[in-house]
Amino acid sequence: MQQDARLPWQPYPELSDAERLERARGCYETLRTRRSCRAFSDQAVPRAVIEQAILAAGTAPSGANHQPWHFAAIESPEAKAAIRVAAEEEERQFYSGRAGSAWLKALRPLGTDAEKPFLEIAPWLIVPFAQRRGGVEADDDLQNYYVSESVGLACGMLLATLHCAGLATLIHTPNPMRFLNRVCQRPEQERPMMIIVVGHAAADATIPAHALRKKSLDQISSWI
């Protein structure tokens, strides 16, 4: 195959600046309603929706286009139970001291604790794994670049897609989380980055008021 073939740029839709602004505002209005959900119902989510979201994540930019990610999508009740047991074990130690007082103080407004029933109740858990080596072809064993950045970008796109599909999500980060390699049967050289809990919010779900405190444009930007 010719390695350096080039194709013409496929034009994006032609919009006026007013239409562009309207679309950007629309995206913002959609994304600003995303909340971390900590109480899920057991309402099912079709596998096809999860597949589309992972496909969307897989379009993210990555170092040298090596796409250094693998997404383990888990719906098996046994696997979810195993993840809950292992995560709660780590979290109990985390919340009973390992986190340190400053970290625990920072988490207080969220009201989180070591109990993670949603890991079994929500219909899907997605675990993104970061690959230090790989490449585009299945049997490539090349150095990957900007691995954390690439996987972070893919996870952001995954989260945005799931939100657009009307699903509730939570990023859960058991600490440490190496047990995920065992449960998801992934090789040791892959690093689990987080658990993305996916489903529908429980009827009695709440959010901490703290979650609504978003920084202003002035706080998060400078214009040079």
Residues that bind ligand IYR (CB under 6 A): 91, 94, 107, 110, 112, 172-175
Q: Which is nearer to ligand IYR, 143 or 175 (CB)?
A: 175
* Nearest distance from C-beta of residue 174 to ligand IYR, angstroms: 6
Q: Which is nearer to ligand IYR, 24 or 106 (CB)?
A: 106
CB of 164 to ligand IYR, least distance (A): 23
Nearer to ligand IYR, 49 or 90 (CB): 90
Instruction: Please state the separation of Cα 30 from the chain's center in Å.
Output: 17
d(CA 118, CA 50): 18
- The total number of residues written for the chain in this structure: 224
Phi/psi of residue 166, nearest 5 degrees = 80, 20
Decide whether 49 or 107 has the Cβ nearer to ligand IYR: 107
Select from 117, 143, 125, 140 the least CA-distant residue to 71. Answer: 125
Largest pairwise CA distance in the chain: 58
Nearest-CB residue for ligand IYR: 112
Q: CA 211 from chain center: how many Å?
A: 17
We find the least distance from the C-beta atom of residue 107 to ligand IYR, in angstroms, to be 5
CB of 94 to ligand IYR, least distance (A): 6
Q: What are the backbone dihedrals phi and psi of residue 96, each rounded to the nearest 5 degrees, phi first?
A: -100, 20
Q: Which is nearer to ligand IYR, 15 or 110 (CB)?
A: 110
Shortest distance, CB of residue 124 to ligand IYR, whole angstroms? Answer: 17
Token pair 């202003």 is found at 216
Phi, psi of 69 (to 5 degrees): -135, 155
